[in-house]
Homo-oligomer: A and B are copies of this chain.
């Protein structure tokens, strides 16, 4: 059960078996049904969730009621609103399961304890955030510089499994276009 997360986390540092056991011991197991909100606008995010099984989306709702999907997270990914989690301030985001999920959770308390007990984990989480930042940057560039068609092609290339797993209108929202326009883009692509 912990094999995957241990590999995910430990590939970036040397840990003793004892340290790994300790890490595993503080993780909380949680099963969540499809279409459950794990976090809502206004709440403080009290978890960092590692996904053992399932699929989750994180999104923002703007003034006009339009959803902007910030992340799809599947097996072996982490999802959280780090800003809210770390500064204990109300989130502006929603986190919702798209499928039945099995999660391993860190809370502010367990994470802090982990970092105090085994400071080496600071590095692990820094690297995690760093990789996140870098992919967010790439996404920003794409959002600004690419056409709808280019964005879609890049998406299915980058996330072939996710693009099969989630609804098309969610992909459209992730890519910053309307569901209608994505549909038109796809039929146009199919004709080429």
Contacts and interface: CB of A to CB of B under 8 A. Distances in A.
A131 to B, nearest CB: 8
Interface of A: 60, 62, 64, 66, 68, 70, 82-83, 86, 115, 119-120, 122-123, 125-127, 129-130, 132-134, 136-137, 139-141, 143-146, 176
Task: Tell me the dominant secondary structure on chain A's binding face.
Answer: helix
Given A129-B129, A133-B133, A139 B140 contact: yes
Nearest to A143: B143
B82 A141 contact: no
A172 to B, nearest CB: 11
Contacts of A176: 143-144
Contacts of A140: 70, 136, 139-140, 143
B145 A68 contact: yes
Given A62-B146, A82-B133, A125-B126, 7 more contacts: A64-B145, A68-B144, A68-B145, A83-B130, A119-B120, A126-B126, A143-B144
A83 B136 CA distance: 12
